[in-house]
A and B are shown apart, each in its own frame.
Chain A
């Protein structure tokens, strides 16, 4: 076991994977709690898909997909937030921005596959590439993570207030529109980072999974954020370890994708929280307005 862990840490690719994966898991875990509480899962998921267009463009242009993911994700987030202010409008706005960007993304991914030597680019963008990721992006990922966590720290109380009771928050002078917009930026960066690790299609898992389990297991928003970060870290570290182990597994003897393991662990955390919930006291009967 000790030898296994030592080899995990000495191998360059797994070390990079663990570092970047942990940064991403912590960021997504923290942001995810508010995404879950505010009912923005659909926006969060859509941003991952939207980012593929940017990532594909960046890939074709010869720069790191990270910048494509984040650049287009931030623009998409701003688009969603400005088009739809109310929850119902936001769903429609998200759908429209998503369709537009996926249309362009499909074209770019098609160009990628038609090039003489397509390599694993399209698969990496859609399903994650934590083992093949360029160690050079560790710095930028760390920077983006710190920025998102700082933004979250500054927004913390007004964001909790706006999330918990938007009408009263507005009446108390909280600039709720600005808070929502800034938080959308935080979602965009967190999701696009995690798209780099788990792939655009699975980035939702790291955003929503640990957070929705943490929300069920805690009584304070701050505790939920801390637990969500821990659950996210657990999923990534365990996922990387299992993926490393799986190089000896059938059918290919070339390893299973790390995204698969991360998502399975996240799913397990979520299911455990559902079961744990059963034993808690059922909510008091309330009258529905």
Chain B
């Protein structure tokens, strides 16, 4: 496991949430969320279904306004700084007939929000090529996206999110539906996004184990509340027990961490812990 000290020790925080509270349809989804993330930090966002993971992403993306509290990205209000946040959505499965190549998809990340046609240009093409190359997708740059494997598609979505040079990248369950080898490749890639490019990464996942090796800190969400810290600080019986509001066992076997009564095995043991 890597050293869990934050990478860029004294740098200004790039993403800050202070006292954030959100209710959807009168039901509190997140409350009292305080976060301060530095450049180049990779944070795993873990929590059971309904814990508020997706809501947290929407707030950072500026798609949802919190009822209370502040969300600041690079010192600006989240609503006004959308170009600073890249986003890889959950379970993106394009139609096999979609007439769109890998290159086209990545280019949309660069200027897809602008009106009219793209006039192309050498600069634009060079940027797209650079992004494809950086994620290792050059070999299928001209393939239709609907015919790529899950792992190939995830790399592409990372390039798509990175090409506008955001300060923060959010990935929603990027490891779901991937085989183990593709999972490892995507995890390594996401690690490079944070530690080589200095982009702050929030990676939402059900299972923390595949990302233990690259994760700097963990944000554990349960019942609308969050605990942020290193794995050793957060994934403990007392911290999680308080978060869930009932007894939790943390078991370490062969370098894997199992939270019993938590999300990993909730189908077996947990019938009431979902908030």
Contacts and interface: CB of A to CB of B under 8 A. Distances in A.
Given A156-B116, A169-B113, A289 B105 contact: no
B93 A171 contact: no
Contacts of A37: 95, 98
Nearest to A216: B97
Interface in B156-204: 160-161, 164, 176-178
A283 B161 CA distance: 25
Interface in B140-156: 142, 144, 146-150
A170 interface: yes
A279 interface: no
A153 B111 CA distance: 15
Contacts of B36: none
Given A157-B108, A219-B142, A173 B100 contact: no
Interface residues of B, number: 45
Interface string B79-121: 0001101011101111111111100110011011111111000
Which label, helix, strand, loop or mixed, suits the secondary structure of the B interface? loop
Nearest to B112: A161
A93 to B, nearest CB: 22
B82 A171 contact: yes
Contact of A168 (B83, B87, B115, B147): B87
A150 to B, nearest CB: 10
Nearest to B177: A287
B63 interface: yes
Contact of B99 (A157, A168, A215): A215
B108 A219 contact: no
Contact of A157 (B95, B97, B117, B164): B117
Interface stretch (A53-61, A75-83, A220-228): A220-228
Q: Is the interface of A mostly helix, strand, loop or mixed?
A: helix
A173 B82 contact: yes
A174 B82 CA distance: 10
Given A153-B116, A157-B108, A158-B115, A218 B93 contact: no
B142 A168 contact: no
B61 interface: yes
B149 to A, nearest CB: 5
A37 to B, nearest CB: 7
Contacts of B117: 153, 156-157
B92 A283 contact: no
Nearest to A227: B99
B112 A158 contact: yes
A219 B94 CA distance: 13
Contacts of A252: none
Contacts, number: 109
A143 to B, nearest CB: 21
A167 B118 CA distance: 21
Contacts of A174: 112-113
B102 to A, nearest CB: 10
A158 B100 contact: no
A155 B100 CA distance: 17
Contact of A171 (B87, B94, B98, B176): B87
A157 B85 contact: no
A173 B111 CA distance: 11
Interface string A257-289: 000000000000000000000000101101111
B161 to A, nearest CB: 8
Contacts of A172: 82-83, 87, 109, 112-113, 164
A92 interface: no
Contacts of B116: 153-154, 156-157
A169 B111 CA distance: 11
Nearest to A170: B63
A224 B93 contact: no
A289 B93 contact: yes
B6 to A, nearest CB: 26
Given A170-B63, A287-B178, 4 more contacts: A168-B87, A219-B142, A287-B177, A289-B93
Interface of A: 37, 153-158, 160-161, 164-165, 167-174, 214-216, 218-221, 223-224, 281, 283-284, 286-289
8 contacts: A165-B92, A169-B113, A171-B62, A172-B83, A172-B109, A174-B112, A281-B147, A287-B150
